[in-house]
Every structure is written in structure tokens, then in C-alpha cells.
Amino acid sequence: MNNYFYITTPIYYVNDKPHIGHAYTTILADVLTRYNRNIGRKTFFLTGLDEHGQKVQQAAEENGIDPQEHCNQMAPRFKELWQKLHISNDDFIRTTEDRHKKVVKDFLQIVMDNGDIYESEYEGLYSVSEERFITEKEAESGEFRDIKKLKEKNYFFKMSKYQDALISHIESNPKFIQPEHRKNEILGFLRQPLNDLCISRPKSRLNWGIELPFDKDYVTYVWFDALINYITALEFNQGTELFESWWPASYHLIGKDILTTHAVYWPTMLLSAGIKLPDSIFAHGWWLMGESKMSKSLGNVINPMDLIDDYGVDPVRYYLMREMVLGQDSNFTMGSFIQRYNSDLANDFGNLLSRVTTLIKKNYDGKIPEPGEYLESDLQIRLKGESLSSKVEMLIGEMRLNEAIEDIMQYIRTVNKYMEDNAPWKLVKEDKVAAGRILYVAGEALRLGAVLLSPVMPHRTGILLDALNALNTNTSWGNLNPNSMLKDHEPLFPRIK
RNA sequence: GGCGGAGUAGCUCAGCUGGUUAGAGCACCGGAAUCAUAAUCCGGGUGUCGGGAGUUCAAGUCUCUCCUCCGCUACCA
């Protein structure tokens, strides 16, 4: 296995306010990063902001401020949200930073030098009000005003030249576009001849962008600029080692709405520049808000961000990761959130911690008892715990996070049953050594479960591990230290009434 | 229109190359227990596996067809 794990989220467009979609992708990246870090890989996690383009320029004009000032006002909103969600990104890139402009210009020059950029006149229908070219169909729709025919010189990237190379790469690398149905979509799309990509905008029309290195009158098309962020952060072509170490990316996580730009534009750009393609582009689905549409009059509007204030970050992270089958859409409902929280987190997981620690405090002066010699039932718990770790690793490698989480919870349920079967609260009256062994095994199993869940819920599992005096991410059996003192803790996940 | 998904218990989903009485979690009903956040444990499913037809000793699993939903894509005269 490659020991370097480089993962990215899309860079989010500064005109959107941060919403559940942004939060979901970023939490997913964070969970994968933390998991890979836990199992000993070197990780680099990049997120950031896309700050160029027409909509930013317009929004700034409406507010009567400079576009850069507009971006500077928006950026903290995202950064603060990531802090609030306990996102452990290694870098936060903004496309208006000098480091990015430098790499974009280098990249454009390389592609130009390879002969893959040419000038051409484009003639088409242009909507002055919308400030963009529109198709004939759009013109007929009547939704656009001030339409005129416009002829404009622009620069084009020879995307079509790489069509065949891209198709064969997709076909020979099954994991390149995931999930599989997205791969099929792209292959279907590539059955048509690919057009070349217009990668410039004349400054007369739009000047909020990165100037082309070979023509001062033009700026770079925003997507061409934005995609390059993934290598900017690695200091591509800047004479450092960073790029060599981390590229190609393990995952570009994206929403399904930006699949074409990532699975077609970006790879052909890389092919032209002679750069390796990323290992995997993974498109996830969307969160839908309930079976019925949200409606203010029905009063069923939920802002998932508010849940964080009410119930904490970790339960929200848990819910999002547990509930979505990666690649499919999911429904977000308050009912399913509460159900999930109470049954998994409060009843099974949090309550198990309370059972174990209370018994140890009452009967062993708060000191973790000695495990002694295992009997069959104890050994079963140990063996299941050991196979759990490898199973979770396999499932996460296949991006089946919901199943990995379910398997961990299944294990927690098994431990609850083990407690019931062995009833240490009774046993302690007859055989204090045997009861101590049961509590050690249950505590150790709980510790193991918490370590495996820590990428999803870093904060609460930290409290648990600290209470058990075992703050580390070791998944091998026996890391609970006999005779060490338990620390007091509040109920880990108080039931929602 | 073309291509590709999907339709399995009330809900969310597993079911690999066809093979014992079709599974899990949650919800629901009954019981046990009382260490614990009234949490836990045990028991309980009469599900037309979207409809129909076919192949086979045997189909949720393969073939055909129809219905419904979704995604991508193309639009004729």
C-alpha cells in the first residue's frame, strides 16, 4: 500500500454560503484522512476556495466593493465552519493567492509549449444581461435578454486530442472514476467527439481572473484555473519535493454535479502537461431534506448546522457518515437523526461506557482490574475485536463507510450481550477476580471500538479514551492498562428526549 | 429516443460467479434482568424479493417483456 495519502475536496465557490453539501464532503475527507493517519499512513488533506469568475465579480460590484475584498469577507465563514466541525485539513487554498497564480501561469505555459493551446474566433449568441454565450436552445427559451451575435477571439485547449488516451485510461483503471455508474456515465459522454475547451475570457468582458501568461488582454477561464489548485498546494513546478511526495492524489472527492469537469477537463489537462492522473475521482450523492419537500409553511425546515449547536459536532458527523451509502443520495430527517443518535450512540455505545466504568468504580476503587486468564467467552470478544480492525480497514478502502460503522456498532452490541451473559455485577459477589476479567475485556473492547470510531467522532471518543486512561490509536488487543485509574466523565451521549 | 442504474420486511439497506425453511439494523409486540444514560438481554416476520413469461433438477440471483423511479445524453421532420 502506498504510504502517502493525499485527499482533496473541491474548492468551494465563495458566492455560496456554506451549507450541508460543503460540510458533508469536507467531513468525509476529514474522516478518511484521520482513518489513514491512524493506521500509520502519511496524510495530506486539502480544501479551499474558488474565488475567481464572473459571479464573484458581480457580487462584489453589487456590494460596491473590490472582488478581493469580497473574497476576504467570505473566506472566514468557511474557515470558521471547518473549525466548528473539527476538520483537520493540512492546507487551505484560495485561488487568489500568489502561489496559485504562479502555478496556473506555469501550467498554462507548459500546455502552450506543448502545442495544445490555439487561438480561434468564436461566434455565437451572447446574452449581454447574463454576460455569457448561450446555446440556440437557451435563446429560444426566452429566459435570456439582450441577445446578440458576437464574434470573439479566444484561446482554446486541445481537449479533443486526449480523448482516446482518456478513454483507455478510464478503462484500464477501474478505480479512476467511482462509483462505477459514474464511470459509465463518463464513458458514455466520451462516445461523442469531445470539443476543445475555451480557456480564456477577454478582460473587456471579465477581468476577475488570472491573466494568461501569453496575452495580457485575457484572463483564464475559471474552471481551468480552479482545478489546478490540487497541484498548487503541492508546489508543482516550484522546485520543492512536495509534489513528488504526494502526487498523484489518492482521492479527489466531489459532488456528482461537478463530475465532468473533474473526470474529463482535469485529466486531459494533466495529460497535456505530462502529469500523472489522480488515483481516484469519487463522486458522492446529495443530501435531500426529507421525503416531502421542505416548506416554510409546513415548518419542517431543518438547518443541519443548527444540530451542531444542539447536539454537538460528533453526532452530526456520525449521522452523516453512517446514514449515507456513498455514491447514492440520502434523506436527511430530524426523526432519523434522533433515532440514530439514541439507539446507536446513547443506548449502545455511551451506555456501555457507563456500565463498565460504574462497575469498576464501585467494586475496584476506580482502578482497571487485571484481565487474568481468558475463558472461551472472553477469547471470543478478543478475536472478534481483532478481526473487526481488518474488516474496517477493508471496508474503508472500498469507500463503504456506512458498513464499516455498522460493523463497529455491531461489535459494541456484542459487548453489551457479553456483559449480560456474564453479569459481572452478580459475579463480583462470588468471584471478584473473574468479574474483574469480564470488566477488563469489556473495557478493552470498548476502547478498541472507540479507536475505530475516532476518525468519525474525534472529540467524544477522545473523552472516552481519556476516561479509560488510554489515549492512543492502537488497535491491537490489550492496550488497556490494568491498575490505572479511571477518570470521571459525563454521560458520553445523553439521550435525546 | 439512446445508454446506464434502481425497484427485497413499516423504514434504511445486505444478498458474490443460480442451490438448504430469503437476511441485518431500526421501529413494533411479549418476556427476563436491574451494573447502566428506563439504557441492556431473550423471543416474535402471513416479505406475492415491481408485474408477467421463459431457461433449469433448482432463480431474488440468468434470458425476454411490461410497469414505475432516477442519472447521463441526444434531439429529429
Q: What is the ipTM of this complex?
A: 0.88
Structural domain harbouring A460: 334-467
pLDDT tens by residue, A148-177: 777 889 999 999 999 999 999 998 888 899
On the 0-12 / 13-18 / 19+ scale of CB atoms within 10 A, A142 is exposed
* Long-range contacts, stretch A169-172, CB < 8 angstroms, 24+ apart: A169/A267, A169/A277, A170/A263
Which of helix, strand or coil describes residue A94? strand
Task: State, as a whole number of angstroms, the distance between the CA of A334 and the C1' of B34.
Answer: 32
The total number of structural domains that make up chain A = 1
Closest nucleotide relative to residue A416's CA, C1' based: B40
Query: Is A493 within the bounds of a domain?
Result: no
Query: Is A61 within the bounds of a domain?
Result: no
CA distances in angstroms from A219 to A212, A222, A236, A486, listed in the order given? 5, 9, 21, 62
Asked if the Cβ of residue A426 lies within 7 A of any atom of strand B, the reply is yes
Nucleotides of B under 7 A from a protein CB: 2-5, 11-14, 24-27, 33-42, 71-74
Distance between CA A383 and CA A441 in Å, rounded?
A: 11
Buried b (16+ CB within 10 A) or exposed e, A144-173: beeeeeeebebbbbbbebbbeebeeebeee
pLDDT tens by residue, A190-247: 888 888 998 999 998 888 999 999 999 999 999 999 999 999 999 999 989 999 999 9
Distance between CA A302 and CA A279 in Å, rounded?
A: 36
Q: Is the pLDDT of residue A426 over 90?
A: yes
Asked if the Cβ of residue A135 lies within 7 A of any atom of strand B, the reply is no
If you search the block for the grid coordinates 506555469, which residue do you land on?
A106
CB A25 within 8 A of CB A446: no
Closest nucleotide relative to residue A490's CA, C1' based: B37
Query: Is A392 within the bounds of a domain?
Result: yes
Q: Which residues 147-176 of chain A have a CB under 7 Å from nucleic chain B? A: none
Q: How far is CA A335 from the centre of its chain?
A: 24
Asked if the Cβ of residue A363 lies within 7 A of any atom of strand B, the reply is no
Query: Is A453 within the bounds of a domain?
Result: yes
Cell of A353: 461506557
| DSSP symbols for A210-246 | PEETTEEEEEE-HHHHHHTHHHHTTTTTTT-SHHHHH
State the number of CA atoms in the 13 A half-sphere of A290 facing the CB. Answer: 14
If you search the block for the grid coordinates 479566444, which residue do you land on?
A154
Asked if the Cβ of residue A491 lies within 7 A of any atom of strand B, the reply is yes
Mean pLDDT, range A38-65, rounded to an integer: 92
Query: Is A361 within the bounds of a domain?
Result: yes
pLDDT tens by residue, A313-332: 999 999 999 988 887 888 88
Percent of chain A with pLDDT over 90: 66
Asked if the Cβ of residue A377 lies within 7 A of any atom of strand B, the reply is no
Query: Is A489 within the bounds of a domain?
Result: no
CB A67 within 8 A of CB A56: yes
Asked if the Cβ of residue A245 lies within 7 A of any atom of strand B, the reply is no
Query: Is A66 within the bounds of a domain?
Result: no
Closest nucleotide relative to residue A497's CA, C1' based: B37
pLDDT tier, A304 (very low <50, low <70, confident <90, very high otherwise): low
pLDDT tier, A136 (very low <50, low <70, confident <90, very high otherwise): low
Query: Is A120 within the bounds of a domain?
Result: no
For the four alpha carbons of A6, A476, A377 and A487, in that order, the dihedral sign comes to: negative
* CATH code (residue A410): 1.10.730.10
Q: Is the pLDDT of residue A296 over 60?
A: no
Closest nucleotide relative to residue A489's CA, C1' based: B37
State the number of CA atoms in the 13 A half-sphere of A125 facing the CB. Answer: 11
What value does the mean pLDDT of chain A take?
90
Can you give the length of chain A in residues? 497
